[in-house]
Structure 1
Amino acid sequence: MSGFRSGGSRAERAEVQRRLATARRGAELLDRKQRILQRSIDGLAERADAERLAWEELAREAAVWLRRTTALDGADRLAEAAPSDTALATVRWGGAMGISYPEDASCTVPAAPPAGGSSALAYAAAAHRTALEAAVAAAASQRALLLVSEELAATRTRQRAVENRWIPRLEEQLTAIERRIAEQELEESLRLRWAAGLM
C-alpha cells in the first residue's frame, strides 16, 4: 500500500505536468534559437571569409611595397616615416538572441610625419594603412563568428540536457505518480466494494 494520500499525489502530478510542459517548451525554444544562430553563423562566416581574404590580399600588396621601399630608401628612411602615435581601433558592438558581438570595426591611423624618399615609400605607407584597416575589420568579423559559434554550442548543450535528462526524468516521475494514483483509486474502489458487501 502506498503511504501517499490521493489528493497529495494529484497535486504532485499537476506540478510535474507543469514542469514537463515548461521543459518541452524550453526545448522548443532552444531548438528555435539554434536555427536562428546557425543562420547568423552562416552569414557571419561568409563575411569573415571575405574580409579575411581582402586583408590577406592587402597585406601581400603592402609587403611588396615594403620590400621595394626598403630597397630604394633603406631602413633608416623607412623608420623615419613611421607615425609616432599608435593606431586606434574602434569596435561597434551589437548583437541578437542575448549575445553581444562586434558588428563593425574601424581603425584610425595617425598621420605620418613628412618624409622624403621615393614614391615607393608613399605607396608603402598607404598600402600598410589600408591593410591595417582591413585587418581590424577582419578581426572583428572573426570575433563575432567565434562568439556566436560559442553561443550555438552552449545552446546545443542546454537543449541536449533538457531533452535527454530533464524531460525523461520528469516523464518517469509523472509515470510513477500516475501509477501511484491508479493504485490509490483501485484501493479506494476495493475498500468501497468491501464496505458495501458488509452492509
Structure 2
Amino acid sequence: MAELRVPPGRAGRMRLRRSLEAARRGADLLDRKLQILRTRHEALRQAERTAEEDWHRRLREAETWLRRGLLLSGEEALDAVACRPPAELEIVWTATMGVRHPRTASCTVPERDPGDPAPANTALFHAEAAYADAVRAAAEYAAVHAAARALGEEVLRTRQRVRALRRHWVPRLERALARADATLEQGEHEDAVRRRWAANALENRH
C-alpha cells in the first residue's frame, strides 16, 4: 500500500490529525449504525420465518380442501368456476437507517360476483377461501422477506466499511501521523542543536 502524501511540516501533521479524528468518528458512527441494523435485521428475520410458516400452513390447508373437493366432484368441477379478476397488491414502503424497504404488503382478493357459478361442493368453497388467505399470507411473507434481504445487504456493506476504517484506514493514518511527529521532533531537535552551536560560537568570539 502506497504511503500517504502529506504536506511537510506542521500543516501536514494538522491535516493528518483532522483526518484521523474524522476516520475514528466515522467508524464510531458506522458501528452504531451497524448495531441498529443488526437488531432490526434480526427482528425481520424472525418475522420472515413466522410469515413463511403461516404462508405454508395456509397453502397446505387450501390444498387439502382442494383435494377433498376434487374427490367429491372430479376435476371438471374446476371448469365450472368462473375466473376471478387478479388480486391487487399494495405495498407500504419505509426506511431504516437510509435503507428503503417494504413495511407492509396487503393483498386484496376480489369477492365472487353474485352471478358467478358457485363451487360444486362445500370443500371447494372452503378451498377457494383458503387459497385467498394463502395469497394474502404470501404477500405478507414476500414483503418481510424483501425487507430482511435489503437490511441484510446493508449490514454486510456497513460491516465492510467499518472493517476498512478500523483495520486499514485508521492504522494507516496513525502510522503517517507517527512519522510526521517523529520528523517534526527530529527537525526541532536539530534546530535546537544548531541554535546552541550558534550561541556558543557567538560567545567564543567575544
State the TM-score, normalized to the length of structure 1.
0.91
Count, aligned residues: 193
Give the CA RMSD over aligned residues.
1.5
- Whether 1:130 and 2:133 are equivalent positions in the alignment is yes
CA distance in 2, matches of 1:118, 1:112: 15
In the superposition, relative to structure 1, how do residues 79 and 91 fare at CA in structure 2: closer, same or farther (>3 Å)? Answer: farther
Displaced runs of 4+ in structure 1, greater than 3 A?
none
CA distance in 1, matches of 2:76, 2:109: 21
Residue pair 2:82, 2:117 contacting (<8 A) in 1 also: no
Deviations 1:2-50 (A, max 9, x none): xxxxx94111111110010000011111111111111111211221111
Q: Which runs of 5+ in 1 are unaligned?
A: 1-6
- 2:144 corresponds in structure 1 to 141
Residue pair 2:92, 2:102 contacting (<8 A) in 1 also: yes
CA distance in 2, matches of 1:155, 1:182: 38
Q: Percent identity?
A: 37
Residue pair 1:69, 1:78 contacting (<8 A) in 2 also: no
Residue pair 1:104, 1:137 contacting (<8 A) in 2 also: yes
- 2:153 corresponds in structure 1 to 150
Q: Which runs of 5+ in 2 are unaligned?
A: 1-6
- Whether 1:198 and 2:167 are equivalent positions in the alignment is no
Q: One-letter code of the match for 2:88? A: L
For residue 175 of structure 1, report the CA deviation from its aligned partner: 0.7
CA distance in 2, matches of 1:75, 1:26: 64
1:47-58 to structure 2, matched below 5 A, reads 47-58=47-58
State the TM-score, normalized to the length of structure 2.
0.89
For residue 85 of structure 1, report the CA deviation from its aligned partner: 2.3
Deviations 1:33-72 (A, max 9, x none): 1111111112112211111111111011001011112222
